[in-house]
């Protein structure tokens, strides 16, 4: 599935991933390929991205890479999924 992570300053990431786990307002949840469409608010926590991703130099310091997982700490945000495209808006 396609994942885009956007902050007020810039697009932090765009690419293919296997799954994304996010800190939702009612608890963490995971999004996999062919997940039903969803829109949700996000709270402070850690986003977990599964799949080997490549990060551009200006944004690399915002992410933590550990093997096949990449993490991003967020303060708040929103997420939308439709047709295997996830857009994560974060602060």
Pick the more confident residue, 60 or 21: 21
Does 32 have pLDDT greater than 80?
yes
Residue 13: per-residue pLDDT: 94
Mean pLDDT of 39-57: 92
Residue 53: per-residue pLDDT: 85
CA-CA distance, 70 to 82, in Å (whole number)? 22
Domain range summary for the chain, segments of one domain joined by +? 2-90
Residue 8: per-residue pLDDT: 92
CA-CA distance, 83 to 87, in Å (whole number)? 11
Fold classification of 2-90 is: ATP Synthase; domain 1 (2.60.15)
The pLDDT > 70 percentage for the chain reads 100
Mean pLDDT of 26-43: 94
């Amino acid at each position: 599935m396609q994942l885009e992570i956007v902050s007020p300053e810039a697009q932090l990431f765009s690419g293919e991933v296997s799954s994304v786990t996010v800190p939702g307002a009612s608890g963490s949840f995971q999004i996999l390929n062919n997940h039903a469409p969803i829109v949700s608010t996000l709270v402070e926590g850690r986003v977990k991205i599964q799949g080997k991703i490549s990060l551009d130099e200006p944004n690399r310091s915002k992410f933590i890479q550990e093997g096949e997982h990449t993490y991003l700490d967020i303060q708040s945000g929103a997420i939308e999924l439709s047709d295997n495209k996830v857009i994560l808006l974060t602060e």
